[in-house]
Structure 1
C-alpha cells in the first residue's frame, strides 16, 4: 500500500502539488486574515491553566454579580498628590466622558467615593488607592456579549484613558501613569507570542537549511524537507484556527504546536530524501545487470525508487508519527482545557507532518528526484566539496558509526552502565523539583503591559488577585477565629479581617513570595468545623497541579501500553519495547534535571535573560509537555534506528552485526535530524515567554541527549548486552505478531 502510494503521488505530482498548494493557501489565509475578519492571533486567549476545583468554587461564591459579563480597563496613577486640583479635575472629566460611552457599565473614581460618616476612609476605596497614599486606580468596566468584548468599545475606552494619561504626565513629569487591564494584557501576550514565533522561525529555518546543505551538499535536496516544514507550519496554523471555534486556544498552544510540527516535518523530510537517494542509486546500479530493471527508463526507475522509499522510510515515518500521536493523546486524560487543547492540536499537527512525509515530499521527489543523484552545487566549491562528501546522506557500509558500535560491543555492559550513570547524574537535580506556575509569576519585559503590572503589584496590593483567600459560611466570630489561626502559620505575613461577600465571610491572606502553595496545603490540612473554602491564585495553582498528579498515572499507562504494543507489533519482541521505554524514562529524567538546574535554581538566568527570583519552580504545564513531547521525540529516533536494525536482521545478519549496520545506516540521519531539532528548540528558547523558554531548553536537551548519548552509545550497548534474548517474546504472543505484526 505504501509503495503504491509513493509511486502514485510521484507519477501524479502536478495534481498532488496543486492540491497541497490550494489547501495550504486556504490555511494561511484563514490563519492570517480569518473567515469572519478575525485572524488566528485575534482569536487566541491567555486565561492560563485552570481546573474546576476548590479555588474555582470559592471564586464563584464570592464573585461580584454586578461585574459579571464585564471586562475592565484601569488608569494607574502613582507618585502624585491625590489632593491636587488639576489631577482631580482630570479624573472627574475622564470619568464623565467614559460614563457617556455606550457599553461602559460602570466607572469608579476612588477620589469620588464619599468618606464614611465621621470622616473615616471608605473601605470600598482601599483597593483603588496605593499602599503609601500617593497613587490611585480609575476603573472603567465594559459589557461583553457571550463573553466577548467589542474591539471598537475597547479601543474607544483605551483611547480616552490614554488621553487622560498624557494629560496627567504633562501636569506632573515625575508621575507614573499607565493604562492596563485584562483585555490589554491578553493582547500584549499574544503580540509577544507572535513575535517569538516569527523570531524562532527566522532562526530555525535558515539553521535547518544550513545543516541540510552540509548533509546533502546541495540546495535542492536540502530544500525539499524545508518545504515540508513550511507546509507543516501553515497546516498547523490553519488547523489551530479551526479549533478556536471548538475550544479556547491559549497562546502557548500555538507556539508549542507550531514548533513540534516544524521539527517533525524536518525529521521526516530528511529521512525520506536521504532514503530516496539511497534507493535510487541502488536501482540505477542494479539496472546495469538486472534484465527486469534494464528495460525501464531513468524516469521509471525514479518512480520505483520513490515507491521503495515510501515503503521503507515512509513506513518508519508512519510508525514514528503514530507513536508520537499516541504519546500526545495521553494528554486527553488530564482535566485542564489547555492541556486537552494542546493534545488535540498536537495530534492534528502530527498527522500533517506524516502527510508531508508520505505525500508532499514524494510528490516533490517526482519532480526533482532525477536531479538528486547529481552532486550539489556546493560540492563543486574547491576545498568545500571534499568536506561535504564526508557528510554524504547515503552512509557507506563502513564508517564512523560502525567503528563506534564495534568498539562499544567490546564492553557493552560497561558502556551501558556508564551511560545510565551519566544520565542519572544529569537528572539528579530533579530530586529537588518544585512544581510551580511561572506563567503567573513572569510577565515578559517586552510586554506592553509590563510597566502597568509591575506598578500594580508593587503599589496596589489590594487591587491584585488574592494569592490565598479564606471563604467560609459561618458567623463573623468563627471567621475571625479561623483568620487568627491562619495568621500564626509561618510565612503568612498578614490576614485581613473578614468581610461579607454574597453572604460568605472572606479574608485575604498575604504570604511570603513563592510560599503560597505550601500555605494553601497547610491550611487545607487543618480545616475548621464550619463549611469553608481556600481560594486565591495560589490555591488555583495547587488545584491545577493536583489534577495533573491525578491524571499522570492514567496518561503514563496509556502511553506505556500503546507504545509497547506498537513496538511489539513492529519487532515481535517484548525485550526491545521494555528497554526502549526504560531508557527513554532515564533520558527524560536527565532533561528534567537540566530544567530544574537551569530555571528553578536559576543557572540559565543570565544566558536566557530572565530574573531567577521570579521563578518559584518548574512550570506544571511545561513539565507535562516536556515529558510528553520528549518521549514522543525519543520514540521518533528509536523508530529510525530500530527500523534499520530490524531490516538488516531480517536480511539474515546476526543480531550483533544488525546493530552495527543498522546504526551505520541510520546514525548520520539521526544525529543530523537531532542537531536540527536541537537548534530549532534553542531558537524558540530565545523568545520572551517564560514557558517557551523552559520548553525550548528542556526539549533541546532531551533531543541532544537522545540523538547522541542514547542512540549512538547507550542503545547499541544495551541491545548488544541483551543480544541472546533481544528478539524474545512469550510463546503465546507469537501468533499475535504473526497475525497483526506491522510488516509489508
Structure 2
C-alpha cells in the first residue's frame, strides 16, 4: 500500500501540490490572517494549569474567585500623596468618563469610598490601598460575553487610564504609575510567545538549512525537508486554531506544538530524501550501468525509487510517528486541561508531519527527483566537494560507524557499563529534584506588564490572589487559634486575623520565597478537628503537582505498553523492546539531571539570561512534557536504527554484522537529523518564556545524548551483548508477529 501511495503522489504531483497549497493557505488565512475576525494569537489564553482539588473547593466556599462575567484593569499608583487635590481631580474626572463607556460595570476609586465609623477603610476599598499609605489601585470592571472581552471596550478603557496615568506622572514625576490587569497580561504574554516563536524560527531554520546543505551538498535536496517543515508549522497553527473552539489553548501549547512539528517534519523529510537518493542512485547505476536510459525510462526509475522509499523509509516514518502519537496520548490520563490540549495538539501535528513526509515530499520528488542525482552546487567547489562527500546522506559500505561498531563489539559489556555510568552521572542531580509550578510566576522581564505585576505584588498584598488561605467552619476563637498555630511553623512569616466570608472564617498566611508548597503540606499534615480547607495559589500548585504524580504511573503504563507492542510488531522480538524501554528511561533521566543542574541549581542562568533566584525548581508541566516528548523522540531514532538493522538481518546477515551494517547505513542520517533538531530546540531555548527555556534545553540534551552516546555506542553494545537472545520471542508471539507485524 505504501509503495502504491508513494508512486501515486509522485505521478500525480500537480494535483497533490495544489491540494497542499489550498490547505496551507486556509491554515494561514485563519490562524494568522484572522479572516474569521480573530487570529490564533487572539484566541490564546494565559491561564495556568488547574485541577479540581482542595484549593479550588476552598475558593468556591468563600466565593473569592473572580467573577467569570467580568474582567478588570487597574491604574496602579505608588509614592503619591492620596490627599493631593490634583490627584483627586484626575481620578474623579476619569471615574466620570469611564462610567459612561458602554460595557463598564463598575469603577472603584478607593479615595472616593467613605471610611467606616472608626476611621478604617471600607472593606471594598481596603485591598486597594497600600499598607504604607502612599499607594492605591483605581479599578475598572468590564463585562464579557461568554468569557470574552471586547477588544474595542478594552482599548477604550486602557486609553482613558493611560490619559489619567500621564496626568498623574506630570503631577508626581517620582511616583510609580502603571496601567495593568489580566487582559493586558494575556496580550503581553501572547506578544512574548509570538516573538519567541519568530526568533526561534529565525535562529533554527537557517542553521538547519546549513546543516542540510552539508549533508546533501546542494540547495534542492536540502530545501525539501524545510518545505515539509514549513508546511508542518502552518498546518499545526491551523489545527490549533480549530482546537481553540473546543479547548482553551495556552500560550505554551502553541510554542511546544510548533517546535515538535518543526523538529519531526525535518527529521522525517531528511529520512525520505536521503533514502530516495540511495534508491534512485542504486537503480540508475546498478540496473543499467552501461546503457544510458531514455527520459521515459529514467522517469519510471524515479517513480519506482519513490515507491520503494515510501515503502521502506516511509514505513519507518509511519511507525515512528505512530509511536510518538501513542506516547503523547499518555498525556490524556492527566487531569489538567492544558496537558490534554497539548496531547491533542501534538497528535494532530504528528499526523501533519507524517503527511508531509508521505505525501508532500514524494510529490516534490516527482518534480525534482531526477535532478537530485546531479552533483549539488557546493560539491563542485574545489576542495569543498571532497569534504562534503565525507558527510553526505548516502553512507558508503565502510565508514566511521562500521569501524566504531566493530570496536564496540570487541568488548561490548565493558562499553555498555561505561555508557551507563556516564548516563547515571549526568542524571545524578535528579536526586535533588524539586518540582514546582512556575506558570503563575514566570512573567518574563520583556513583558509590558512585568513592572505592573511586580509593583502589585510588592505594594498591594491584599489585592492579589492569596498564596495560602486558611478556611474554616467554626467559631472565631478556634479559627484564630488555628492561625496562631500555623504562624509558628517554619518558613511562615505571618498570618492575618480571621475574617468572616460567606459563613466561613478566612485567614491569609505568608511564607518565605519558594517555601509556600512545603508550608501548605505541613498545614495539611496537622489539621484541627473542625471542618477546614487550605486554599490559595500555593495550595492550588500543590493540588496540581499531586494530580500529576497520581496520573504519572498510568501515563507511563500506557506509553510503555504501546511502545512495547509496536516495537515487537516491528522486530518480532521481546528482548529489543524491553532493552529499548530501559535505555530510554536512563537517557531521559540524564536529560532531567541536566535540567536540574542548569535551572534549579542556576548553572545556566548566565548563558540563557534568567534570574536563578526566580526559579524554585523544575516546572511540573515541563517535566511531564520532557519525559513524554523526549521518549517519543528517542523512539524516533530507535526506529530509524532498528529498521535498518532488521532489514539487514532479514537479508540473512548474522546479528553482529546486521548491527554493524545497520548502524553504518543509518548513522549519518540519525546524527544529522539529531543535530538539526538539537539546533531547533536550542533556538527556542533562547526565548523569554521560562517554560520554553526549560523544554528547549531538556529536549536538546535528550536528543543529543540519544543520537550520540545512546544510539551510536550503548545500543550496539547492548544488542551485541544480547546477540544470542536478541531476536527471541515465545512461539505464539512469533506467529502473531508474522500475521500482523509490519515488514519492509
Q: Same fold (TM over 0.5)?
A: yes
Cα deviation 1:606-637 (Å, max 9, x = unaligned): 11111000011000000000000000000000
CA contact (8 A) 1:467 1:538 kept: yes
Larger CA deviation: 506-515 vs 111-120:
111-120
Query: What's 2:478 paired with?
Result: 478
- Residues 370 and 130 of structure 1: is their aligned pair in 2 closer, same or farther, counting only changes over 3 Å? same
- Residues 360 and 67 of structure 1: is their aligned pair in 2 closer, same or farther, counting only changes over 3 Å? closer
Q: Secondary structure at the match of 1:37?
A: coil
Query: What's 1:602 paired with?
Result: 602
Cα deviation 1:519-543 (Å, max 9, x = unaligned): 1111111111222111100111011
Q: Secondary structure at the match of 2:440?
A: helix
Query: What's 1:697 paired with?
Result: 697
Q: Secondary structure at the match of 1:603?
A: coil
Matches for 1:441-480 after TM superposition, within 5 Å: 441-480=441-480
Q: Secondary structure at the match of 1:297?
A: helix
Query: What's 2:578 paired with?
Result: 578
Query: What's 1:226 paired with?
Result: 226
CA contact (8 A) 2:68 2:147 kept: no
Query: What's 1:415 paired with?
Result: 415
User: What's the CA shift for 1:551?
Assistant: 0.6
User: What's the CA shift for 1:83?
Assistant: 1.5
Q: Secondary structure at the match of 2:107?
A: strand
Matches for 1:265-664 after TM superposition, within 5 Å: 265-288=265-288, 297-664=297-664
User: What's the CA shift for 1:353?
Assistant: 0.3
Matches for 1:173-212 after TM superposition, within 5 Å: 173-212=173-212
Q: Secondary structure at the match of 2:410?
A: coil
Cα deviation 1:323-359 (Å, max 9, x = unaligned): 0001000001100000000000000000000000101
Between the aligned partners of 1:135 and 1:155, the Cα distance in structure 2 is 25
CA contact (8 A) 2:271 2:313 kept: yes
User: What's the CA shift for 1:399?
Assistant: 0.3
Between the aligned partners of 2:146 and 2:63, the Cα distance in structure 1 is 18
Between the aligned partners of 1:501 and 1:185, the Cα distance in structure 2 is 29
User: What's the CA shift for 1:515?
Assistant: 0.6
Query: What's 2:75 paired with?
Result: 75
CA contact (8 A) 1:441 1:615 kept: no
CA contact (8 A) 1:188 1:447 kept: yes
Cα deviation 1:246-304 (Å, max 9, x = unaligned): 0100000000000000000000000000000000011112322799x999710000000
Between the aligned partners of 1:65 and 1:428, the Cα distance in structure 2 is 41
User: What's the CA shift for 1:125?
Assistant: 2.6
Query: What's 2:20 paired with?
Result: 20
- Residues 665 and 486 of structure 1: is their aligned pair in 2 closer, same or farther, counting only changes over 3 Å? same
Cα deviation 1:378-416 (Å, max 9, x = unaligned): 111122111111111110000000001001111110000
Between the aligned partners of 2:61 and 2:147, the Cα distance in structure 1 is 19
- Residues 101 and 566 of structure 1: is their aligned pair in 2 closer, same or farther, counting only changes over 3 Å? same
Query: What's 2:161 paired with?
Result: 161
- Residues 464 and 360 of structure 1: is their aligned pair in 2 closer, same or farther, counting only changes over 3 Å? same
Between the aligned partners of 2:498 and 2:285, the Cα distance in structure 1 is 86
Between the aligned partners of 1:531 and 1:69, the Cα distance in structure 2 is 31
- Residues 118 and 473 of structure 1: is their aligned pair in 2 closer, same or farther, counting only changes over 3 Å? closer
Between the aligned partners of 1:176 and 1:520, the Cα distance in structure 2 is 33
CA contact (8 A) 2:435 2:618 kept: yes
Q: Secondary structure at the match of 2:50?
A: coil
Between the aligned partners of 1:628 and 1:181, the Cα distance in structure 2 is 34
Q: Secondary structure at the match of 2:125?
A: helix
User: What's the CA shift for 1:68?
Assistant: 4.6
Cα deviation 1:160-192 (Å, max 9, x = unaligned): 100000010111110110000001001100110
Q: Secondary structure at the match of 1:115?
A: coil
Gaps of 5+ in 2: none
Q: Secondary structure at the match of 2:141?
A: strand
Between the aligned partners of 1:364 and 1:222, the Cα distance in structure 2 is 12
Query: What's 2:720 paired with?
Result: 720
CA contact (8 A) 1:288 1:294 kept: no
Between the aligned partners of 2:204 and 2:65, the Cα distance in structure 1 is 48
User: What's the CA shift for 1:65?
Assistant: 8.5
Give me the TM-score of the superposition, normalised by structure 2.
Answer: 0.98
Cα deviation 1:74-119 (Å, max 9, x = unaligned): 0001111112111111111112221222111111111112222143
- Residues 285 and 181 of structure 1: is their aligned pair in 2 closer, same or farther, counting only changes over 3 Å? same
Between the aligned partners of 2:295 and 2:39, the Cα distance in structure 1 is 54
User: What's the CA shift for 1:730?
Assistant: 1.8
CA contact (8 A) 1:287 1:294 kept: no
Between the aligned partners of 1:118 and 1:25, the Cα distance in structure 2 is 67
Give me the TM-score of the superposition, normalised by structure 1.
Answer: 0.98
CA contact (8 A) 1:128 1:460 kept: yes
User: What's the CA shift for 1:485?
Assistant: 1.3
Between the aligned partners of 2:350 and 2:471, the Cα distance in structure 1 is 45
Between the aligned partners of 2:331 and 2:710, the Cα distance in structure 1 is 25
- Residues 336 and 64 of structure 1: is their aligned pair in 2 closer, same or farther, counting only changes over 3 Å? closer
Between the aligned partners of 1:453 and 1:121, the Cα distance in structure 2 is 24
Between the aligned partners of 1:65 and 1:567, the Cα distance in structure 2 is 48
Query: What's 2:244 paired with?
Result: 244
Between the aligned partners of 1:61 and 1:151, the Cα distance in structure 2 is 33
C-alpha RMSD of the superposition: 1.5
CA contact (8 A) 1:324 1:635 kept: yes
CA contact (8 A) 1:467 1:510 kept: yes
Between the aligned partners of 2:119 and 2:519, the Cα distance in structure 1 is 37
- Residues 648 and 106 of structure 1: is their aligned pair in 2 closer, same or farther, counting only changes over 3 Å? same
Query: What's 1:686 paired with?
Result: 686
Between the aligned partners of 1:237 and 1:700, the Cα distance in structure 2 is 23
Gaps of 5+ in 1: none
Cα deviation 1:214-261 (Å, max 9, x = unaligned): 000000000000000000000000000000000100000000000000
Between the aligned partners of 2:474 and 2:312, the Cα distance in structure 1 is 70
- Residues 295 and 14 of structure 1: is their aligned pair in 2 closer, same or farther, counting only changes over 3 Å? closer
CA contact (8 A) 2:59 2:65 kept: no
Q: Secondary structure at the match of 2:133?
A: coil
Cα deviation 1:531-571 (Å, max 9, x = unaligned): 21111001110111011011111100000001000000000
2:62 aligned with 1:93 = no
User: What's the CA shift for 1:121?
Assistant: 3.8
Query: What's 1:45 paired with?
Result: 45
2:731 aligned with 1:731 = yes
Between the aligned partners of 2:703 and 2:361, the Cα distance in structure 1 is 24
Q: Secondary structure at the match of 2:130?
A: coil
- Residues 48 and 367 of structure 1: is their aligned pair in 2 closer, same or farther, counting only changes over 3 Å? same
Query: What's 1:152 paired with?
Result: 152
Larger CA deviation: 469-478 vs 387-396:
469-478
